[in-house]
Structure 1
């Protein structure tokens, strides 16, 4: 699989380039520079310095000219900056800055930042939650923003005094998931447990920071719980673990309804509707549930598991068994996996920097696979938006090298559609996409303790 993977280029740009351009535009300085670098595995890297200066005739126009290196930076009609590099064959690639950066000064102090190990944004985008290595979880409110940006400089939002704290785990938090109501939060941890937390925000007038306690703690796994998922409104939930088990839970009692075992420890999981065409001639209609605690929607679901062995496995919650296992892989553990039944697509991300995309109607042969630099893929999220003639499918990719990006997959691809800039070499371990009325926000959380929101 590695031999056929395409190598995509990497564009990096000075984090403060929007401020450099703004200072020149405002007349604070007549001229300034920022750096741009382009990389591609097994090829010499290209570095450049770009001069930003006011146009001699139009003093409202900032002109960008390379002073060193074969790199071009241009501003398109939408106000987006694009970087291209002929020596490495890099086409004009968007460099996108966050619209917002959320900072808790007690957690994102540059001298001693708290690494964000788990993250989620509520379905209504009104709040987000962060989890940490010490087992703590914090809930924060979000702020609205205008999509028509006047500047590429992100708005910094200080949420130090707006957090609601909790300490539901004895050690690191491995996953966070909001229930559909946006008012309840599911957490899991390295201490083998899952918890249900209230996720109501305090009234603005009474901004209370009193610690919230779990309303339920669930224990049955014998090793780290790696991921979770919520079925329908949340009466049933699913968890995966390094003990190789997928467990189906009844939330009201906190008890396990059933366990299904994969071939090896499960690093990641993704829940979705059963495939329209079951693999290998499997039956399409599962038997009725025998446990009254199992809701009807559960029987329609499958779980794709990313395994430490490098394989992925599909477990059917209706049939209570494994129904598909991929061929042996040599790509390292599958750290992250994303399944979209409406798109008929599955994507896996490995510890060896390989992203592989499959058509779920033909899982034996990948649609495509690609990589960039020698890093670890930490998170994947599908993005689907309307194109001129057909839907465009993209993947938001979080990476341990601090260079998250958006890759175009269908109908053109794979190619880098946008570099998500703003992180200074800190691992980005979480990426989440929220869509609303044709627009979508990409949220990321990184080891510098900062949550960033990108708007498209």
Structure 2
């Protein structure tokens, strides 16, 4: 059963607006302006100019006032900015700037940036990896995030060129990067039909021209592009999906395929998790023990949601070694992203036409809600669970306007616009709980990795 998709608004702001405010606050200019644009489907867009002006008496106070267009901008005590637009019914929406921007100047040169096609941040948040169209992968250390609140919300720019560890595990574009739970090993996949296991240790002495790391193992069995990967438990078994319409379960140590599952159409995205309490096919909930010694005991409790190019998603049970559910298409467009959250019993899909759909995994035949903004590819999607038990979705889009949507208990609604990229597609994001803060990391076509604290 399909529900009518809701149309969510877009609040877009000049990506350097905090620098404009900072320069006025520092006295470099008595005032300056930056632009704000607001959009909503089927309604006229609103374009505005906001003037940042230093107070005549309090030289640490910057006033923000719309001088062209009908918008309002405010700043709270923690330094976060919010923008509202009454004509479009847009309530104050947080516009969140990154706390850090990681730039390898050779890879993020504005005149010739290297598009980041895949990205992952390690489980311990000590390092991250970026993959590129030429088949290369670079490993970088992270830096500690600045504490909040702070006087300025301008991003901390970090030059990482001198601390990279290069590798070239693929002949062409890298499609997926996944750190193993140890944070010391990396699983990669590519357009060249292969997967590799790559060491991910940071060097004792960083060097711009560090020694290239070679894969310790290459896994081959797919006959078309490998689109996604997942790691089971500590990593003895892994899972991959492909445009060859298969999902494969592997043993890492031997590089052998344990099981291969045929899907209804090519697989564009995949998400691994624990088995549902009540299987959708109504059969028994506990599979028999596997007789294959290559398979770890933890594998039998796992399921894989696959987002298909047909617009459907299909659920595979790794214990029973079969497909247990296939949905009706929510749209005719490919499911370019999919995310399963076992703790909240939620499944989210994102399509190549900008549609995000949410399901309760206890009743997969009925949509909880669906929404869209602009007709743009949903490149990546991740669940964000906050301390108040509210649930959100961090969403990366090909229009360069990533955002966080609140979905439960209220929503769907845009809770934060993730500002930073200047119209460059954002194809990868990861949500991580780091201490008491939920973080969202993004990587975009401008070759820059951005770190946000929600």
Q: CA deviation at 1:206?
A: 6.5
Tell me the equivalent position of 1:280: 281
Tell me the equivalent position of 1:21: 21
Alpha-carbon distance in structure 1 between the residues aligned to 2:166 and 2:316: 35
Alpha-carbon distance in structure 1 between the residues aligned to 2:189 and 2:79: 41
Tell me the equivalent position of 2:51: 51
Tell me the equivalent position of 2:319: 318
Tell me the equivalent position of 1:450: 448
Moved more, 365-374 or 323-332: 323-332
Which digits, 9 at most, give the CA deviation of each residue in 1:322-366, with x for residues without a partner?
Answer: 000001332400000000111100000000100001110111111
Alpha-carbon distance in structure 2 between the residues aligned to 1:329 and 1:145: 39
Q: Does 1:92 align with 2:92?
A: yes
Q: Does 1:305 align with 2:303?
A: no
What does 1:99-118 correspond to in 2, within 5 Å?
99-118=99-118
TM-score under structure 1 length normalisation: 0.97
- Structure 1 289/38 Cα, relative in aligned 2: closer, same or farther at 3 Å? same
Q: Unmatched 5+ residue regions in structure 2? A: none
Tell me the equivalent position of 1:431: 429
- Structure 1 95/441 Cα, relative in aligned 2: closer, same or farther at 3 Å? same
The SS at the match of 1:161 is: helix
Cα-Cα RMSD: 1.2
Alpha-carbon distance in structure 2 between the residues aligned to 1:150 and 1:261: 55
Q: Do the aligned partners of 1:331 and 1:350 also contact (CA within 8 Å) in 2?
A: no
Moved more, 275-284 or 418-427: 275-284
Tell me the equivalent position of 1:402: 400
Tell me the equivalent position of 1:248: 249
Alpha-carbon distance in structure 1 between the residues aligned to 2:151 and 2:58: 19
Q: Do the aligned partners of 2:187 and 2:197 also contact (CA within 8 Å) in 1?
A: yes
Q: CA deviation at 1:42?
A: 1.3
Q: Do the aligned partners of 1:331 and 1:354 also contact (CA within 8 Å) in 2?
A: no
Alpha-carbon distance in structure 2 between the residues aligned to 1:187 and 1:99: 28
Tell me the equivalent position of 1:32: 32
Tell me the equivalent position of 2:295: 294
Tell me the equivalent position of 1:123: 123
Q: Do the aligned partners of 1:49 and 1:66 also contact (CA within 8 Å) in 2?
A: yes
The SS at the match of 2:329 is: coil
Q: Do the aligned partners of 2:3 and 2:370 also contact (CA within 8 Å) in 1?
A: no
Q: Do the aligned partners of 2:129 and 2:137 also contact (CA within 8 Å) in 1?
A: yes
Tell me the equivalent position of 2:74: 74
Q: Do the aligned partners of 2:442 and 2:449 also contact (CA within 8 Å) in 1?
A: yes
Tell me the equivalent position of 2:164: 163
What does 1:353-368 correspond to in 2, within 5 Å?
353-368=354-369
Which digits, 9 at most, give the CA deviation of each residue in 1:384-427, with x for residues without a partner?
Answer: 0122xxx1100000000000000000000000000000100110
What does 1:218-229 correspond to in 2, within 5 Å?
218-229=219-230
Alpha-carbon distance in structure 2 between the residues aligned to 1:309 and 1:87: 38
Alpha-carbon distance in structure 2 between the residues aligned to 1:329 and 1:406: 21
- Structure 1 347/300 Cα, relative in aligned 2: closer, same or farther at 3 Å? same
Q: Do the aligned partners of 2:163 and 2:206 also contact (CA within 8 Å) in 1?
A: no
- Structure 1 435/13 Cα, relative in aligned 2: closer, same or farther at 3 Å? same
The SS at the match of 1:234 is: coil
Which digits, 9 at most, give the CA deviation of each residue in 1:196-216, with x for residues without a partner?
Answer: 000001013667611100000
Alpha-carbon distance in structure 2 between the residues aligned to 1:155 and 1:80: 16
Which digits, 9 at most, give the CA deviation of each residue in 1:56-78, with x for residues without a partner?
Answer: 34332111111011000011232
- Structure 1 12/201 Cα, relative in aligned 2: closer, same or farther at 3 Å? same
Tell me the equivalent position of 2:133: 133
The SS at the match of 1:445 is: strand
The SS at the match of 2:337 is: strand
Q: CA deviation at 1:40?
A: 0.7
Alpha-carbon distance in structure 2 between the residues aligned to 1:80 and 1:105: 28
The SS at the match of 1:279 is: coil
Which digits, 9 at most, give the CA deviation of each residue in 1:366-385, with x for residues without a partner?
Answer: 11100001111000000101
Which digits, 9 at most, give the CA deviation of each residue in 1:228-272, with x for residues without a partner?
Answer: 000000000000001111110000101001111111110000000
Moved more, 118-127 or 49-58: 49-58
Q: Do the aligned partners of 1:202 and 1:208 also contact (CA within 8 Å) in 2?
A: no
How many residue pairs end up in the alignment? 453
Q: Do the aligned partners of 1:66 and 1:72 also contact (CA within 8 Å) in 2?
A: yes
Q: Do the aligned partners of 2:3 and 2:369 also contact (CA within 8 Å) in 1?
A: no
What does 1:208-247 correspond to in 2, within 5 Å?
209-247=210-248
Alpha-carbon distance in structure 2 between the residues aligned to 1:414 and 1:209: 46
The SS at the match of 2:299 is: helix
- Structure 1 26/345 Cα, relative in aligned 2: closer, same or farther at 3 Å? same
Tell me the equivalent position of 2:419: 421
Q: CA deviation at 1:2?
A: 7.9
